Structure 1
Amino acid sequence: MSAAGVRTSAAALLAVLLLIVAGAGCTGGDGSGRAPRSSDPAGTAAGAKVLAVKIDNVAPARPQTGLERADVVYVEQVEAGLSRILAVYSSDLPPVIGPVRSARETDLELLRQFDRPTLAFSGAQSKLLPAIDRAPLDAVPPSVAPRAYFRGSERPAPHNLYLRPERIPYTASGTEAVEALGLRFGPPPPGGRAEDSRTVRFPSARTAFTWSAERERWLVALDGTPARTSEGEPLGAATVIVQDVTVRPSTYGDRSGNNTPFTETVGSGSALVLRDGKAYEARWTRSGADADTAFTTPDGERIDLASGPLWIVYEPR
C-alpha cells in the first residue's frame, strides 16, 4: 500500500473510533441514554444514589405496594405512638410504591448516611419544609413531580397516594443500598443464640419477626397481622436489626395536637442483629450526621448481613 493509502486508512479508522466514543457517551448499553448498571457493586456503592420513599404503616394502608423490593426498610415512631416506614431502593425499582405519606424531621438526619438521596414523600408540615429544602437531598413531593403520583380508588385518602418511580428524575444504580451504608453481606459472626421470633413495641404499634427456615427469611407481622405484599406473598427480611435509640419530643406536632417524636440516630447504643435463625448481641455507633452507622459485636468486630432485604427497627429506650 502506498504512503497516501496508509494515511487515508488511518484517518478512516480514527473517524470510526471517534464515532464509537461519542456514541458511548450518549447512551447506555441498552440505548436508553442512561449509564449501564455496574457489575462491580463494591467499586461503585460508595457513590450510589438511592431513592427513599416515606410509606404509610397503619392498618388502612396495608398491604403496601413495592415494599418487598426495597433494599433497606426503616421502621420509626411517629405521632400518637404509631409507626411509619422509610423504604430505600437502589438495586431495583418496582413500577409502583406506596401508599406514600409525609416526611418527618427524623428522616433528614437518617438520610445523611447516603450520598444526596432522592426523597419521595406526600408533603410535610410548613415549619419542616425549610429544613427539607436545606437538607442534602433531592426532594420530589407531588408538587415537584405531579405526574409521578396518583390516587388509588380502592382506599380512602390519605392512604391511597402512590408513586410511579420511573416518572421522577431517578435511575436505580443496580447496587445494593446496604453497601452505600458501609455494610456488607457475608458470613455470620461466631456464637449467637437460636431465636425464632422478636417483637418491637411502640406505644401504639408492634412490629414482629418470625424466622422461617423454609423461606430463609424473617417473616414480618404488623400489629399482630402477618404482613403481605400486594400480590399476597409473605413479606420478609434476610436480616433484621433492632437498634436501641433515644426517641424524644421535637418542636413539631400534628393537627390533632400530638407531638412529633424525633429519633436520635447519631450516637451509640446496643442493638440486636437477627439473621439465619439466630440473634447476635451488638453495638451501634454513628459519630455524626455525615457518618455511617457501624454495627459490631461486643468485642468490636464488624457484623455482616445475610444476603437480601435489611429491616432496621428503631426501638425506643
Structure 2
Amino acid sequence: MSGAHRPRGPGRPLTALLCAVTAVALYGCSGSGPEEPAPTRPPTATTPRGVSPLTGLPARSGPVLAVKIDNVAAARPHTGLGAADLVYVEQVEGGVTRLLAVYSSRLPDSVGPVRSARESDISLLRPFGNPALAYSGAQRALNPLLDAAPLDLVSESTAPGAFRRSPDRAAPHNLYLRPERALAAAPDASGVRPIGLRFGAAPAGGTATTTETVRYPAARYAFTWSAADDGWRVAIDGRPATSTDSGPLAPATVVVQRVTVRPSAFHDVNGAVSPYTETTGSGTATVLRDGRAYEARWSRPDPAGGTSFTTPDGHPLAFAPGQVWIVLAPR
C-alpha cells in the first residue's frame, strides 16, 4: 500500500493538531467509531527495576519499536520474530491476519517481511506512550490519523536506510527492517513502560491443555504445549511457525483475547473493507501458560491505559515470564 510519511519536523505539531481535530470530528477518538471509553484508568501493574514489563524477564530499559509484519503463506518463515517481547495477531482484509511485533528488551539484526499499517494499530499502541512504528505505508485516507497519533513513524520514505529488499522473495513480501537503524530514525520513541501485564507464579486451577486452536475467516492458529521449550509451539495454517534466525516459535504465554471485529471506514486497494479490532472495553479471554488453560477476563476502560487480565473472580492473572502472544480473536 502507498502513502508513507515524512518524519516529524518543525511543521509537524501544527499538522498533527489539524489532523487530530479532523479525526475527532469525523470519527471520534478511536478513529472510525467509538470504543466505549470510560473516564478512569485501571491500576497499572508495577515491575521491579531491571525487569521488562512486557516479558517479566531481566532486560535493559530501551525504547519501544513496533513492527507491522506480513503473515500470508508467501511471507513465511518470518525473520526476527523470536526476539520480540510481545506479538499481537490482528485480522485484516479477506479474513487473513497480520502481526504487530513489539521490541524493547533486545533487537534482532533484521525483522520482516514488513507490511502496511491499519487503523487498529493506533489504538493498540496507545498504552506504550509514543513508540516507534515501522511499516511499509498505509492507504492515503488513513495517513492523517497516523500522523496525528502518538507514534514515531518509520517508513521507507522517511528512513530508507532502515529497510532493505531481499532478492530471495517476490514483492511485496520482501521488505525487511534493520531495527537499530529504525530507532536511530525515531529519536522521540518512548521508553518501555508497564501496559497492565503481570508476571509470576501460575494461579491455582486451570485445565491441563495440550493444544488450543484459534480460527479466523481465512487463517488458523494452533498453540501446542512443549515441555522441552517451556512454551507453546506455534502453527499457522497447519504448518509450524519458525523464525529464520532463531528457529521454532514457542511463546511462554499465549492470550486468546476475544474482541469485537467490525468494519471500519477504510478499505484496501482492491476495495475490500478493512476490519477494525476493538481493544478497549472488556471481555473474556483464555490464557495459556505452563501446559494449562485459564479462563480470564480482560479490561481496558481507558484507550490510553493498559489492559488488565484477571481470573473470573477478579484476581490478577499472572503470565509466565517470557515472550507473550496476544491473539485478538473475533468474539
> What's the counterpart of residue 131 of structure 1?
145
The answer to whether residue 219 in structure 2 is matched with residue 205 in structure 1 is yes
The answer to whether residue 169 in structure 2 is matched with residue 155 in structure 1 is yes
Structure 2 gap ranges (5+): 1-47, 55-60
CA contact (8 A) 1:55 1:101 kept: yes
- Which residue among 243, 246, 250 is the counterpart of 2:264? 250
Specify whether residues 200 and 259 from structure 1 end up closer, same or farther in structure 2 by C-alpha distance, changes over 3 A only: same
**Root-mean-square deviation over aligned CA pairs:** 2.1
Tell me the CA shift for residue 252 of structure 1.
Answer: 0.5
CA contact (8 A) 2:198 2:316 kept: no
CA distance in 2, matches of 1:248, 1:139: 26
Which residues in structure 2 correspond to 1:6-25 (within 5 Å)? none
- Which residue among 50, 56, 65 is the counterpart of 1:51? 65
> What's the counterpart of residue 30 of structure 2?
none
> What's the counterpart of residue 94 of structure 2?
80
Q: Partner of 1:236: helix, strand, or coil?
A: coil
Specify whether residues 42 and 221 from structure 1 end up closer, same or farther in structure 2 by C-alpha distance, changes over 3 A only: closer
Count residues in correspondence: 275
Q: Report which of the two has the higher share of helix.
A: 1
Which residues in structure 2 correspond to 1:1-317 (within 5 Å)? 40-41=49-50, 49-170=63-184, 180-231=194-245, 233-317=247-331
Alignment-mate amino acid for residue 300 of structure 1: G
Alignment-mate amino acid for residue 162 of structure 1: Y
Tell me the CA shift for residue 44 of structure 1.
Answer: 8.8
CA distance in 2, matches of 1:271, 1:127: 33
Specify whether residues 155 and 133 from structure 1 end up closer, same or farther in structure 2 by C-alpha distance, changes over 3 A only: same
CA distance in 2, matches of 1:43, 1:153: 36
Tell me the CA shift for residue 43 of structure 1.
Answer: 9.6
Alignment-mate amino acid for residue 220 of structure 2: R
Alignment-mate amino acid for residue 194 of structure 1: A
CA distance in 2, matches of 1:69, 1:100: 15
Q: Partner of 1:103: helix, strand, or coil?
A: coil
Alignment-mate amino acid for residue 49 of structure 2: D
CA distance in 2, matches of 1:112, 1:236: 26
CA contact (8 A) 1:49 1:116 kept: no
CA contact (8 A) 1:249 1:262 kept: yes
CA contact (8 A) 1:66 1:98 kept: yes
Q: Partner of 2:256: helix, strand, or coil?
A: strand
Structure 2 length-normalised TM: 0.79
CA distance in 2, matches of 1:112, 1:245: 17
Alignment-mate amino acid for residue 322 of structure 2: G
Calculate percent identity across the aligned residue pairs.
Answer: 57
Structure 1 length-normalised TM: 0.83
Larger Rg: 1
Tell me the CA shift for residue 182 of structure 1.
Answer: 2.5
CA distance in 2, matches of 1:252, 1:68: 31
CA distance in 2, matches of 1:184, 1:287: 18
